[in-house]
Amino acid sequence: MNLRFVVHEHHASRLHYDFRLESEGVLRSWAVPKGPSMNPSERRLAVQVEDHLLEYIDFEGIIPEGQYGAGAVVIWDSGTYDLIENKGDKILFFLHGERLKGGFTLILLKGRGSGNEWLLIKKKDEHARSDWKLDMSLTPERRANLKERNPPCQTS
C-alpha cells in the first residue's frame, strides 16, 4: 500500500508547516510551527488539527482574505511513507520525500495542553543530518504564480 504524505508551507497569520499523513482515506494533520527537521536532536512541536480531505493533498494557492487560514499555501515536501508501527500515542513511519527521508516518530505529549500536542522527531539513521536547516519553499516568484483558491475543505 502506497500511503502518501505532504507538508504544506502555510503562510497564514503565522507561518507554519502542516504535516499530513494519508491514513484511512483522510489526511491526519499536524501543524508544526517551526517545521519538520532532519536533525534528531530537534524535537518539533506538532499540534494535531482536524483531519483533512484527501483531495487537499496537492492543494497550492492563496486562501482568500477573510477565510480561515487565509494566506499562501505551497507544498514544501511530498512523497510516500511506510507505516512501521502505530500505537495510538506513538506513530513510527519511514518517509520517502524529497526533503524528508528516513525514520520519524510522532509522540503524543501526555498531560499537556488539550491532548493534541505531539512531538515530531527524526530517527537517528543514515538520513539524519545534524547540520540541517529548513529552507522555505515560497519565493516571491512562486508567490506571483499562485492563484487565489478556495481549499476543498476548511483548513487550519
Q: Would you tell me which residues interact with Mn ion (CB under 5 A)?
A: 10, 18
Longest dimension (CA), the chain: 44
Q: Which is nearer to Mn ion, 10 or 101 (CB)?
A: 10
Q: Which is nearer to Mn ion, 18 or 22 (CB)?
A: 18
Tell me how far, at minimum, the Cβ of 73 lies from Mn ion, in Å.
7
Tell me how far, at minimum, the Cβ of 90 lies from Mn ion, in Å.
24
Q: What is the DSSP string of 79-136?
A: EEEEEEEE-SSEEEEEEEESS-EEEEEEEEPTTSTTS-EEEEEE-SSTT--TT--PPP
| Residue facing Mn ion at closest CB distance | 10
Tell me how far, at minimum, the Cβ of 12 lies from Mn ion, in Å.
6
- Residue 19: alpha-carbon gap to chain centroid: 1
Q: Which is nearer to Mn ion, 74 or 91 (CB)?
A: 74
Lookup: cell for 76: 514544501
